[in-house]
């Protein structure tokens, strides 16, 4: 870890390289009037909107919607099966993939019929989530697009794992955009010191609007988790129909959220944007890119990172640049040669090519102070939105 000095707070950085845009955003965080203690940059850090992705911010009196992001509650779940890869021939694996695609809508698609909501999912907590109440039963159990995925993997002992990455879908986006707009209005009214260009408008956590955002954010977190569990149940059903396998205990984590936590003897709102909680003994998921390994990790409770870890590999090439510059045929050939059932079929799919992301092994190495790798998981099949 190295320390980057600013005019206000230090930046604790675990990344060997930080792109210029991400560093500029990190400096804005460190010089934010309500930022506390220090700012963290994790090995997967890259430029985001307002706050870098792969960063952690502490505040006391305010909460910053753009430091959570538009996909509130985006996260991961993973489960180990008792079936080994050698029992899963290519045809069976391909049939499993086709069945999953048939049952789980991806991209902008939603279910055509209402899905049952879990009984423990509380009623919407505020006006934005309440307004989406009719759509929620159609959104739950859907993957979305971008970097969201379902992946079938194997560990070093050849046991099959299921991993998926998704968030709160359109619900979280609407909540995030509404409260960020409200925050911008209030910051302008207060003549805030925070530059409009930073995109780091804030809400007072003790105001009605601040409390309302926190309530709606927490609902989005619960919905995002329920969304992943709904999909995982579907995938388990598909797997059981083909293999009659059993499943182990699920690991489930968020990596876009804010949570009230005690660090260095004081209470803070810890904003994790593209970062996971990594308390001592806490399991986490750090996925690679399409065609590369992923990791199950165990947190070390490192105080300097606010007990946080990287959430993935982190982008090195923007989506538009990837589509414009990468060679479709060579990337398809490389993935085909590896034997992976992948999702790169057209030029537009190149925004999720392995070349768009950092080396996941390097990310894991650079955060060895933060989390210990427990399982290294190798991809067999990938479904993208």
Residue (of 367, 360, 348, 372) closest to 153 by Cα position: 360
Burial of 189 (0-12, 13-18, 19+ CB in 10 A): exposed
- Determine the Cα–Cα distance for residues 164 and 285; give it in Å rounded to an integer: 10
Q: What is the DSSP letter of 309?
A: E
Task: Give the length of the chain.
Answer: 385
Closest CA to 43 of 293, 370, 261: 370
CA-to-CA dists, residue 21 to 145, 276, 357, angstroms: 24, 22, 16
Contact between 124 and 154 (Cβ < 8 Å): no
Structural tokens at position 89: 């021939």
Q: Which tokens in the block code for residue 280?
A: 């001592």
Known catalytic membership, residue 263: no
Q: How far apart, in whole angstroms, are the C-alpha atoms of residue 218 and residue 63?
A: 13
- Residues 11 and 2: their CA atoms lie apart, in Å, by 8
C-beta of residue 171 within 8 angstroms of C-beta of residue 140:
no
Q: Which residues pair with 75 in a beta bridge?
A: 166, 254
Catalytic annotation, pick one of 28, 32, 38, 311: 311
Handedness of CA 305, 297, 259, 201 (dihedral sign): positive
Token pair belonging to 210: 């601040």
What's the farthest any 2 CA atoms get from each other in the chain? 65
Helix ranges restricted to H, the chain: 20-30, 90-103, 127-131, 136-139, 169-189, 208-243, 319-325, 328-338, 360-366
CB 307 within 8 A of CB 301: yes
CA distance 143 to 165: 8
Give catalytic residue positions. Answer: 311
């Amino acid at each position: 870890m190295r320390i980057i000095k600013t005019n206000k707070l230090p930046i604790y950085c675990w990344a060997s390289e930080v792109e210029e845009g991400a560093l500029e955003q990190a400096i804005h965080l460190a010089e934010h009037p309500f930022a506390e203690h220090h700012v963290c940059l994790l090995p997967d850090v890259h430029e985001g909107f307002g706050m870098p992705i792969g960063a952690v911010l502490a505040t006391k009196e305010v909460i910053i919607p753009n430091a959570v992001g538009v996909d509130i509650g985006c996260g991961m779940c993973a489960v180990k099966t008792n079936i080994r890869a050698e029992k899963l021939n290519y045809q069976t694996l391909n049939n499993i993939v086709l069945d999953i695609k048939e049952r789980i809508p991806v991209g902008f698609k939603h279910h055509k019929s209402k899905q049952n909501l879990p009984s423990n999912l509380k009623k919407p907590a505020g006006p934005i989530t309440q307004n989406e109440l009719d759509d929620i039963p159609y959104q739950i159990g859907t993957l979305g697009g971008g970097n969201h995925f379902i992946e079938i993997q194997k560990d070093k002992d050849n046991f099959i794992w299921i991993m998926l990455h998704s968030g709160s879908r359109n619900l979280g986006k609407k909540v995030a955009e509404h409260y960020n707009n409200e925050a911008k209005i209030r910051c302008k009214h207060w003549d805030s010191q925070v530059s409009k260009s930073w995109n780091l408008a804030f809400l007072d956590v003790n105001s009605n609007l601040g409390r309302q955002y926190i309530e709606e954010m927490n609902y989005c977190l619960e919905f995002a988790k329920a969304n992943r569990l709904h999909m995982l149940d579907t995938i388990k059903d598909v797997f059981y129909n083909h293999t009659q396998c059993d499943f182990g205990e699920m690991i489930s984590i968020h990596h876009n959220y804010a949570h009230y936590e005690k660090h260095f003897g004081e209470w803070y709102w810890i904003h994790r944007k593209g970062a996971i909680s990594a308390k001592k003994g806490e399991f986490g998921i750090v996925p690679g890119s399409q065609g590369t390994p992923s990791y199950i990790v165990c947190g070390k409770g490192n105080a300097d990172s606010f007990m946080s870890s990287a959430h993935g590999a982190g982008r090195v090439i923007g989506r538009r640049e990837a589509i414009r510059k990468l060679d479709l045929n060579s990337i398809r050939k490389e993935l085909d040669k590896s034997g992976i059932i992948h999702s790169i079929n057209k030029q537009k799919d190149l925004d999720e090519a392995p070349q768009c992301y950092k080396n996941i092994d390097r990310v894991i190495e650079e955060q060895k102070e933060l989390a210990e790798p427990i399982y290294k998981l190798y991809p067999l099949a990938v479904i993208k939105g």
